[in-house]
Chains A and B, each alone.
Chain A
């Protein structure tokens, strides 16, 4: 299992989707490919854009299917971040 502390990488406003894509490709996907679970820790992050969350997780749902959500946990998300994650997770599943 790996825990990724996002605040250390993106600061308190998670909006840079280039960084989100890099985190997904370089840190999340290798763990999932090794059948490891991933915790995305949002502690210290007060807001995120839909673009950031989309770049971080949408391709995981597309590549691994909805069951990937059993392998990823979202930790210390405040209300806004939770809602944006829910929007992305929902539209990705609706789009499948």
Chain B
């Protein structure tokens, strides 16, 4: 496997990074970096960590980074998590208000603890922390519950002063969306599986409307909706497919939610290197963050409409002869 960390990879321009991933030889991981500058979204780090945890640290070959910003990798805990040596020296900063280093979460109680500690670290106002802890809780629980990854979920986040935004990345190396959703559906491709997973009320746990006792198939729809209403990027990559919700133009005054993610402004790629698992990146702009309460009104309306439409589609038609 080969991963090259480029000089820039954020959700808006992450596609070239994904295309260059080489996941062909699972017995060895070679990591190289741009020689001058590395500026990357937390999802990139979470993916590198997630894949690195699948092999022995002795089989990871991390070419010594030379970039001026190499300290970022150290500060975010990449070498520590992967148990590989690094001679990069950093002045330890108090992380409060800046970032959440790479964290491996293996079970439900570890997630609860992580969320409790996360909010003070990012110094968030209540209206921001509500959405962010909601997103992290739902995405990590999804990974723990559905991916069945031996290595849990890898999370990292960073506050960006210039854009006044929090960027979050969560990756796992589990079953992936298509396998999970196809327990009860029949997605023909990874992209179709992602489309189903992002639609309200569709879960791999059952075909029935309303889901199971612990699963409604709503988590990813809620998160896509939070990103849509806040005009933020949201990217999900699983198998060979990537779906990216693009930013809405600020001139668009009224934002409406769609149950079908393909009705939103988005980009896609169906021929990426196969990612065994799921990776999700999201940006939350703190300037435009709408109150969670406002979002819930929109979500309720869209969710109910989607169920009604699906039920209606199954109605038998009268035969006129």
Q: Which residues of A contact B (CB under 8 A)?
A: 11, 13, 15-18, 21, 24, 46-47, 49-51, 54-55, 58-59, 62, 79-80, 83-84, 86-88, 90-92, 94-96
Contacts and interface: CB of A to CB of B under 8 A. Distances in A.
Nearest to A79: B293
Contacts of B176: none
Given A49-B134, A54-B216, A58-B216, A16 B304 contact: no
A33 B138 CA distance: 31
A37 B130 CA distance: 31
Interface string B277-321: 000000000000000110011011001100110010000000000
A92 B210 contact: yes
B68 interface: no
Chain B interface main SS type: helix
Nearest to A86: B300
B137 interface: yes
Interface of B: 108-109, 111-112, 115-116, 126, 130, 133-134, 137-138, 141, 201, 208-211, 213-216, 218-219, 222, 292-293, 296-297, 299-300, 303-304, 307-308, 311
Contacts of A16: 108-109, 111-112
Contacts of A58: 210-211, 213, 216
A6 to B, nearest CB: 14
A52 to B, nearest CB: 9
A52 B115 CA distance: 15
Contacts of B208: 95
A84 B216 contact: no
A91 B138 contact: no
Contacts of B209: 91, 94-95
Chain A interface main SS type: helix
A55 B49 CA distance: 31
Contact of A15 (B115, B214, B299): B115
A83 B296 contact: yes
Contacts of B311: 94
A56 to B, nearest CB: 10
Contacts of B218: 50-51, 54, 91
B214 A62 contact: no
B134 A47 contact: yes
B213 A15 contact: no
17 contacts: A16-B111, A18-B108, A21-B214, A46-B126, A47-B130, A51-B215, A51-B219, A55-B213, A55-B214, A58-B211, A62-B213, A83-B300, A84-B296, A90-B304, A91-B218, A91-B307, A95-B209
A50 B293 contact: no
Given A18-B108, A80-B130, A94-B308, 7 more contacts: A15-B112, A15-B141, A16-B109, A50-B218, A91-B218, A95-B208, A95-B209
